[in-house]
Amino acid sequence: MENITLLVDAKIKPEDLSTVFKQSGLKRPYEDLPRLEKMIENADILITAWEEDRIVGVARAITDFSYCCYLSDLAVDQEYQHRGIGRELVRMVQERIGDHVSLLLLASPIAMEYYPHIGFDKISNGYMIPRKN
């Protein structure tokens, strides 16, 4: 993670989030800036990774800080993957929520093999009602 700075609750613009989503290869609404603005504003935890003034990673989570935390986004620019940035972003989320809070996520199909590698257990007892758009 040489030359990478991690920031907690940094003020970022929708364009910053759009950039990292687009460069990560994950399917996110990176062209919908008003929606991204709401995603930033309503996150309980926002941790970003930077190389100088270039955003290269983000972890965004919703939590009650008591029982559960949903890691809604973990994205790292493809050019910066395999450097431990994602692992460190997750570690920092865990540090913020503490050991008494479960960390949950829905994995992107392209990241299914990644999460067990950084300490997540696969679960099969989940359900969802998908968003309509």
- Render pLDDT for 16-67 as a digit per residue (tens, 0 to 9): 999 999 999 888 889 999 999 999 999 999 999 999 999 999 999 999 999 9
Beta-sheet strands, E only, within the chain: 5-8, 45-51, 54-63, 68-76, 102-104
Question: Residue 117: pLDDT band by 50, 70, 90 thresholds?
Answer: confident
How many residues belong to the chain?
Answer: 133
Half-sphere exposure of 88 (CA within 13 A, CB side): 19
Nearest-angstrom CA–CA distance, 47 and 23 = 17
pLDDT score at 26? 87
Q: Is the pLDDT of residue 1 over 80?
A: no
Q: What is the pLDDT of residue 56?
A: 97
Single-letter amino acid, residue 95: E
Burial class from Cβ neighbours inside 10 Å (0-12, 13-18, 19+) for residue 118 reads middle
User: What is the predicted pLDDT for the residue at 126?
Assistant: 83
Torsion of CA 67, 41, 111, 121, to 10 degrees: 0
pLDDT digit string, tens, across residues 61-106: 999 999 999 999 999 999 999 999 999 999 999 999 999 999 999 8
pTM (whole model) above 0.85: yes
CB count within 10 Å of CB 36 equals 21
In this prediction, residues 3-18 reach a mean pLDDT of: 95
